[in-house]
């Protein structure tokens, strides 16, 4: 059953978590409430997993309670309201208590995931807006050409058409939103990276600002060199420099000299060493991935797409955001995103197969709630609510995702922005290959549905 009373659900979750005093932080991403506890042994994970509306509970870097899009925001806010914690301050500050040793020792992809999760809402909004703007401008170009509209000194023919229909300001506004998200992404990432690595987040934002400055040409480098990877590594360097200077500077003048010297030294190292080296590293990663995608073709698309449901189920897919962004910044498009989105097709198809198979009303109810949401935007509801509980459905869904990935590479479909999955991703498709995206998506979904149904029948699944 879905959550009907968020305050009551929050109260129950707090009680099952060992009480208010056991909480350190509560935040949410697109589909999960992420909770850090002082003592995880006090938490009744099984009981939380059995709560109405909870799709799954993942014990990784604290506890991740999967409840689906929209629901996670409301439940998170309800918990924080009861805990009397300001929503904006619910993430760990630099001077907050150590969260857990597990978090400190998190693997690289997990750390990257934690850095990008807070930025995702803005990235999704910017990506979807730009995708819609691309569709609008494509229609304008076609209509302007058909009507024989000529360009003016200040406007293109498409812009003239948009202006005639009072749509030019809307198009400009959507372009502005996209630019403000992605042109300044290094600042947002600098802030969240510093917060994740227990450094003053505003100093992290400052490091991100420096990497975007046009004055970098005076030092023989250029704005954006090294990309987001360079920003994150620079924040890590800032962390250790800050700690070192903190030890040697007297407390009486620490407030002046610690941040000043830390930023000065880090900026010097970043401009002279880190940005150039990370620039080479970023280019090598993008070139290597493009080589793999180009050389392996449909086979590589199948393997990569089939692996993505596993990454998504563990939340590690967010760790690839930096790579997606490097592709967008370097190439102007990102074929790996379109391959990743095919995981959504496979899981939705498998859930449809389970819906057709099952006679269990609880399973069918879970399918009715999860399939539309996943079809429209994110795959977690069908992954946790339907496919993983069935066992075999996750495997057949992954194979279906592979079929979608093979088709997406066969048609060479790429995305020109980041956003959501499913049908919400349609405006993000580059070069107007919307039909090929739909063929690939439904091809993967149908393959997963048929395979799930066949395997389910063989297993006498009900």
Q: Using an 8 Å Cβ cutoff, are 348 and 379 in contact? A: yes
Cα(207)–Cα(163) distance, integer angstroms: 40
Cα(220)–Cα(372) distance, integer angstroms: 52
Cα(369)–Cα(2) distance, integer angstroms: 9
Cα(462)–Cα(450) distance, integer angstroms: 16
Q: 263, 260, 258, 264: which is closest to 245 by C-alpha?
A: 258
* CA distances, 108 to each of 104, 140, 232, 240, 354 (Å): 11, 44, 11, 17, 35
Long-range contacts of 137-143, Cβ-Cβ distance < 8 Å, separation of 24 or more: 137/162, 137/171, 138/432, 140/167, 140/171
The catalytic position among 29, 307, 352, 377 is: 29
Q: Using an 8 Å Cβ cutoff, are 62 and 36 in contact? A: yes
Sign of CA dihedral 433, 434, 437, 438: negative
Give burial (CB, 10 Å; 0-12/13-18/19+) of 48: middle
Cα(363)–Cα(95) distance, integer angstroms: 45
- Name the β-bridge partners of 36: 25
In degrees, to the nearest 5, what angle opens at C-alpha 43 toward C-alphas 46 and 29? 85
List alpha helices for 270-314, DSSP H. 275-314
Q: Using an 8 Å Cβ cutoff, are 331 and 423 in contact? A: no
Q: Using an 8 Å Cβ cutoff, are 404 and 445 in contact? A: yes
List alpha helices for 215-274, DSSP H. 227-248, 254-269
Return the DSSP state at 35.
E
In degrees, to the nearest 5, what angle opens at C-alpha 323 toward C-alphas 92 and 373? 70
The token pair at 51 is: 């709560």
Local structure of 93: helix, strand or coil: coil
Find the helix or strand (DSSP H, E) in which 58 lies.
strand 56-58
Residue 278: active-site member: no
Residue with tokens 């802030």: 191
Which residue numbers are catalytic?
A: 29
């Amino acid at each position: 059953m879905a959550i009907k009373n968020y305050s009551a659900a929050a109260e129950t979750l707090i009680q099952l978590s060992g009480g208010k005093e056991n909480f350190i932080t509560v935040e949410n991403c697109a589909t999960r409430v992420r909770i850090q506890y002082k003592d995880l042994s006090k938490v009744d994970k099984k009981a939380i997993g059995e709560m109405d509306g909870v799709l799954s509970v993942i014990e990784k870097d604290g506890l991740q309670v999967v409840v689906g899009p929209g629901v996670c925001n409301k439940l998170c806010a309800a918990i924080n309201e009861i805990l009397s914690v300001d929503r904006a301050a619910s993430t760990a500050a630099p001077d907050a208590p150590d969260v857990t040793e597990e978090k400190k020792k998190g693997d690289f992809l997990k750390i990257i995931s934690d850095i990008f999760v807070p930025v995702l809402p803005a990235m999704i909004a910017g990506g979807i807006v730009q995708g819609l703007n691309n569709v609008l401008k494509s229609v304008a170009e076609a209509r302007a050409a058909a009507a024989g509209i000529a360009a003016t000194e200040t406007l293109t023919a498409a812009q003239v058409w948009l202006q005639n229909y009072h749509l030019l300001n809307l198009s400009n506004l959507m372009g502005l939103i996209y630019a403000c998200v992605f042109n300044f992404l290094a600042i947002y990432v600098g802030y969240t990276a510093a917060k994740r690595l227990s450094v003053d987040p505003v100093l992290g934002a400052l490091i991100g600002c420096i990497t975007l400055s046009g004055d970098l040409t005076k030092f023989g480098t250029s704005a954006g060199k090294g990309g987001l990877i360079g920003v994150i590594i620079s924040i890590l360097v800032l962390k250790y420099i800050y700690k070192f200077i903190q030890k040697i500077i007297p407390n009486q003048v620490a407030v002046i000299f610690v941040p000043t010297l830390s930023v000065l030294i880090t900026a010097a190292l970043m401009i002279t060493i880190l940005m150039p080296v990370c620039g080479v590293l970023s280019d090598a990663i993008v070139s290597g991935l493009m080589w793999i995608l180009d050389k392996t073709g449909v086979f590589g698309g199948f393997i990569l797409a089939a692996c993505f449901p596993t990454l998504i189920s563990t939340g590690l897919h967010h760790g690839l955001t930096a790579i997606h962004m490097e592709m967008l910044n370097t190439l102007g498009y990102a074929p790996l995103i379109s391959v990743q989105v095919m995981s959504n097709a496979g899981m939705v198809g498998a859930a449809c197969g389970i819906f057709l198979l099952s006679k269990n009303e609880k399973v069918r109810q879970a399918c009715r709630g999860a399939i539309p949401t996943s079809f429209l935007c994110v795959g977690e509801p069908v992954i946790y609510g339907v496919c993983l509980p069935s066992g075999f459905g996750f495997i057949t869904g992954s194979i279906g995702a592979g079929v979608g990935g093979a088709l997406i590479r066969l048609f060479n479909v790429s995305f020109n922005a980041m956003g959501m999955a499913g049908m919400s991703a349609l405006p993000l498709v580059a070069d107007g290959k919307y039909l090929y995206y739909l063929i690939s998506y439904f091809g993967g979904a149908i393959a997963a549905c048929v395979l799930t149904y066949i395997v389910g029948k063989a297993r006498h699944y009900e």
